[in-house]
Amino acid sequence: MADVLTPSRTLLLVAGGWTVLGLAASHAEALLPLWQGAGLAALAVACVDAWISRKAPLLRVERELAGVWPVGTWNKVTLKLHNEGARHVALDLYDDYPATWAMEGLSHSSQIAPGAYAAVSYSLCADQRGPASFGPAHLRVRSPLRLWQRVHRIGAPSTIKVFPDFSKLLGHTLSATDRRAPAAGAIRKRRRGEGTDFRQLREYRDGDSMRSIDWKATARRQKPITREYQEERDQQVVFLLDTGRRMLARDDTTTHFDHALNAVLTLGFLAQKQGDAVGLMTFGGETRWVAPLKGRNGLDRLLGAVYDVQPSEMAPDYLQAATDLLNRLSKRAFVVIITNLRDEDDTALRSACELMSSKHLVICASLREKVMDGARSKAVDTFPGALRYSATVHYLQQRREAIRRLGIRAERLIDITPDQLSTALVNRYLDIKESGQL
C-alpha cells in the first residue's frame, strides 16, 4: 500500500531557486528565457523522477522480536530491510509499534545497495499487560533523483503477548519469605519430623520431640522409635480474583488489579514450589476458570490464562462467584478472595465467605487505598486540609465497620494497601501451612 507522492526537500529548494530567478527575471527581461528554460527542465526532470518512483521498491522487511515480553522492561526489536531490486534505495524507516509504548532508536535513515540488506534495531518498553500488535513498517522511500518521496507500508503484522514481569515477582516472593528464611532468598520448608504428613519410622535421635515417639513401635522393637513427618504437598490454593470496577483504582501508576495479579502470581510461584496445586477464578467482569494444577505447568497455565485480564466497569457479585467456585471445586482448598471492600458489600461478602467456608479454608484480602493512609497522616494546617482529613477519617471508619460486620476472624482477613499485598499473602499462606489447618 502506497501513500501520496510528496516533494522532497531537494525539490522544494529547486522550486525556491526557480522562484527567486523568476523575481529577478521580472526586473531583467534578459533573464526571462533562462527562467522559462529552467522551469521546463525542472518540470521534466521532476515528472520523470516521479514516474520512475511510482511503484513500490522491491523491498522485503523482516521483524525480529520476542513473542513474549515482560511489562515495564525495555526490549529490542530488529527490522531487516532486504533490497531485492536492481537499484540503490534511500529511505527513512519508522515502525508501526503500539502507540502508547516508550520508544528509543527511531526513525532511521538507510541506503541499501541492490541485493544487500540493512538491519535496524530499536528499543521498546511495554506499558501494560495483554496482547499487542505491530503493523507493517512505514518506509519513506526517496526517488532516484531525490526529488520525491513516497511512504510505503511493507512487512507482515506481528502479535506478541505482554506478561507481568516475573523476575520482579520472584524478587517479591523471596523478600516476602525473608522473615522465615535463615538466609535471604531461601524459601523455608518444614524440617523432617515437624509436618503433619507421615513419612516414615526411624530410631529416636537427640532433640526429637517426645510427642513424635511411636509407643507401639517402641514396644515392639524394644528401643525408642520416632514418627517422621514432612510438609503436606498435595493441597490446593485457589484464588478468587475480583475484576470489577473498584479494582480500577490506582496507587501511583499501578491499578489495584495489577497489584492483586502480581500477588496472585507471587503466591502461586511459592505454592507450586511447595508442591501445592494452584488455580484461579475471576469474577465481577469476565469469568475465567483455571483448574488447580501442580508444578511449573500449573503456574505457566495460570500465567497464560490471566496475563491479558483487565478490570471492567461491572460490580462484583460475591455470592454468585462463591456458588460458581463451589460447583467447580470438589477437593478442600485454601481459597484466597482478593477484592476492594466497601461498606455496602458486607452482607454479600459475608454470605459468600460463609458459603465457601463450609467446605474450604477461606481468607479475604481487601485492598485499602494508599492515598487514604497518606491523607490521614498528613498535618492539617488549612481549612480544606481539615475537610479532607475529616472525610478521610469518616471513610476509614465506615470501612472498619464494614469489615467488623463481616464477622470474619482476624487471621482470615487482610485489610492492606496494594503494595504490601504480596508479602501479606505469602506470610499468611506459610502460617497456614505450618499450622496444618488444611
Does residue 193 form part of some domain? no
The residue with greater pLDDT, 82 or 253, is 82
Q: How far apart are CA 114 and CA 102, in angstroms?
A: 34
Q: Does residue 334 belong to any structural domain of this protein?
A: yes
In a domain, 372, yes or no: yes
- Neighbour tally for 270: CB within 10 Å: 26
Alpha-carbon distances of 129 from 217, 234, 259, 340, rounded to whole Å: 58, 32, 12, 21
pLDDT of residue 345: 66
Q: What is the mean pLDDT of residues 29-58?
A: 86
For residue 56, CA distances in Å to 53, 114, 115, 149, 292 come to 7, 15, 16, 11, 54
What pLDDT is stored for residue 1 in this prediction?
46
Give the pLDDT score at 179: 46
C-alpha cell at position 252: 501511583
- The arithmetic mean of pLDDT across residues 363-378, rounded, is 77
366 compared with 191, residue with greater pLDDT: 366
Residues 154 and 289 in one domain: no
224 and 178 within one domain: no
pLDDT of amino acid 77? 95
* 48 vs 126: CA distance, rounded Å: 45
111-120, 140-149, 244-253, 343-352, range with the lowest pLDDT: 343-352
Q: Which is more confident, 429 or 53?
A: 429
The span from the CA of 238 to the CA of 216, in Å, is 39
**pLDDT at position 185:** 39
221/240 same-domain check? no
Is 213 among the domain residues? yes
Give me the pLDDT at residue 145, please.
87
Q: Is the pLDDT of residue 148 over 80?
A: yes
**Are 413 and 304 within one domain?**
yes
Q: Same domain, yes or no, for 254 and 311?
A: yes
103-107, 180-184, 227-231: which range is least confident on average?
180-184
Distance CA 383, CA 95 (A): 53
Residue 113 structural domain = 59-163
Give the residue among 278, 273, 83 at the shortest CA–CA distance from 174: 273
Would you tell me how many other CB atoms lie within 10 Å of the CB of residue 161? 16
The set of cell numbers assigned to 109 is 535513515
Q: How confident is the model at residue 182 (pLDDT cuts 50, 70, 90)?
A: very low
193 by Cβ neighbours in 10 Å (0-12 / 13-18 / 19+) ranks as: middle
| Cβ–Cβ under 8 Å, residues 145 and 169 | no
Residues 225 and 135 in one domain: no
* CATH code of the domain covering residue 350: 3.40.50.410
Whether residue 194 lies inside any domain: the answer is: no
β-pairing, 6-7 vs 148-154, is antiparallel
2 lies in some domain: no
CA–CA separation, 237 and 338 (whole Å): 13
* pLDDT-derived band at 174, boundaries 50, 70, 90: low
Per-residue pLDDT for 436 more than 50? Answer: yes
How do residues 233-278 score in pLDDT, each as one tens digit? 578 999 999 999 889 988 777 889 999 999 999 999 999 988 899 9
Residue 194 confidence (pLDDT): 47
Residue 195 confidence (pLDDT) above 70: no
Is residue 216 located within the same domain as residue 246?
A: no
Share of the chain above pLDDT 70, in %: 88
If you count them, how many residues does the chain have? 438
If asked whether residues 330 and 219 sit together in one domain, one would say: no
Of 34-48, 257-271, 363-377, 423-437, minimum mean pLDDT range: 363-377
Domain count, the chain: 4
- 303 in a domain, yes or no? yes
Instruction: Say what the pLDDT of residue 285 is.
Output: 85
CATH number at residue 102: 2.60.40.10
One domain for residues 272 and 321 = yes
427 and 384 both lie in a single domain? yes
Domain assignment present for residue 3? The answer is: no
* Start-to-end CA span in the chain (Å): 62
- Mark whether 206 and 296 lie in a shared domain: no
- The answer to whether residues 356 and 281 belong to one domain is yes
Give the pLDDT band (50/70/90) at residue 190: very low
- How many other CB atoms are found less than 10 A from the CB of residue 245? 16
